[in-house]
């Protein structure tokens, strides 16, 4: 039996003021796979992720998580019940909870189980020393790392990442990105990663999808897209990789 993709989206459409900013987007991602969504600013990447997360309503199309329909024009599963995590750069922490409280927020189980999970995740994002700190005591980059840990904590089956690493300085960015994506792979999460860094996409992606003006215009293995870009604009995107 062929394993079902963890995430399937079919024919997603979203228009604002009569303009289709997402125009018939379909994608699927298997367990432990990373799909990188690349494309110029305004081409519809964030809107696509927001529809999958359930914080934006599609005008048309269907979304399934582990084969279960979460949205198809009739059925609607709310964001918190989809097992879909969404991470983006400006994700704010809860100011009234300390770091441990923030990371434990979406967790169920015994106190000891939750504590173990919180400690594991803070180690991944190199924030163990700050387990009892308050958000206002942390730098922006530190807050972002805690927000990453919080998004990972409930083990969502699908993780949508909208340039979540872009606010971090270089060394931290590479390390935390690698730790985070390794963890997601180990846990069998299906990942959609939006990035504007071509070398990040080449290194991390199992598949790349190029988006333009609301549509996916090319998709394939990183190596294939790099070697056979569909046009000059696609080639230009990869040209500064060294
Ligand atoms: P990307 O993430 O690829 O930069 P977005 O999905 O954020 O692109 O936006 C795609 C287009 O849709 C942009 O032109 C943006 O201005 C427009 N857009 C996004 N959200 C809204 C909204 N709530 N109302 C009106 N226009 C929007
Ligand atoms: Mg965006």
Look at residue 131 in the predicted model and tell me its pLDDT: 98
Sheet holding 7-16, edge to edge: 19-29, 7-16, 60-65, 68-71
The best mutation among 17, 44, 237 to test binding of ligand 1, ranked by most ligand atoms within 8 Å of the C-beta, falls on: 44
Q: Write down the pLDDT at residue 148.
A: 87
pLDDT at 184: 92
pLDDT of residue 1: 60
Q: Is 78 in the pocket of ligand 1 (CB under 6 A)?
A: no
Local structure of residue 108 (DSSP, 8 states): -
* pLDDT given for residue 240 in this prediction: 62
pLDDT by 10s per residue, the chain, length 242: 667 899 999 999 999 999 999 999 999 999 999 999 999 899 999 999 999 999 999 999 999 999 999 999 899 999 989 999 998 877 789 999 999 999 999 898 999 999 999 999 999 888 999 999 999 999 988 898 899 899 889 999 999 999 888 878 888 888 888 888 988 998 899 999 998 888 888 889 999 999 999 999 999 999 998 888 888 877 877 776 65
Q: Are 23 and 215 a contacting pair, CB within 8 Å?
A: yes
Q: How far is the CA of 207 from the centre of ligand 1 (A)?
A: 24
CB 76 less than 6 A from any atom of ligand 1: no
Instruction: Note the pTM of the prediction, 2 decimals.
Output: 0.91
- Report CA(110)–ligand 2 centroid distance (Å): 37
Q: Terminus-to-terminus CA distance in the chain, angstroms? A: 41
pLDDT at residue number 2: 66
Confirm or reject: Cβ of 45 under 6 Å from ligand 1.
Answer: yes
Closest ligand 1 atom number to CA of residue 56:
23
Q: What is the pLDDT of residue 91?
A: 75
Q: Determine which residue's CA is closest to atom 24 belonging to ligand 1.
A: 16
Which 8-state DSSP code applies to residue 5?
P
In the prediction, which pLDDT does 222 show?
93
60 beta partners? 13
Residue 67 CB neighbour total at 10 angstroms: 9
């Amino acid at each position: 039996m062929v394993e079902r993709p963890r995430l399937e989206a079919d024919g997603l459409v979203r228009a604002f003021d009569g303009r289709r900013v997402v125009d018939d987007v379909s994608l699927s991602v298997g367990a432990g796979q990373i799909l990188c969504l690349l494309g110029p600013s305004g081409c519809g990447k964030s809107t696509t992720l927001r529809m999958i997360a359930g914080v934006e309503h599609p005008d048309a199309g269907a979304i399934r998580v582990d084969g279960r329909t979460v949205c198809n024009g009739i059925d609607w599963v709310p964001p918190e019940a989809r097992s879909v995590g969404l991470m983006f750069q400006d994700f704010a922490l809860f100011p009234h909870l300390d770091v441990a409280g923030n990371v434990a927020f979406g967790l169920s189980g015994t106190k000891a189980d939750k504590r173990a999970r919180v400690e594991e995740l803070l180690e991944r994002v190199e924030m163990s020393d700050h387990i009892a700190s308050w958000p206002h005591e942390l730098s922006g980059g530190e807050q972002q790392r805690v927000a990453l840990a919080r998004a990972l904590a409930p083990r969502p089956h699908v993780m949508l990442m909208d340039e979540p690493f872009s606010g971090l300085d270089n060394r931290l960015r590479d390390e935390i990105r690698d730790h985070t994506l390794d963890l997601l792979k180990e846990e069998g999460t299906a990942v959609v990663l939006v990035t504007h860094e071509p070398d990040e996409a080449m290194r991390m992606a199992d598949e790349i999808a190029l988006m333009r003006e609301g549509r996916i215009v090319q998709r394939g293995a990183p190596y294939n897209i790099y070697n056979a870009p569909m046009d000059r604009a696609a080639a230009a995107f990869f040209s500064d990789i060294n």
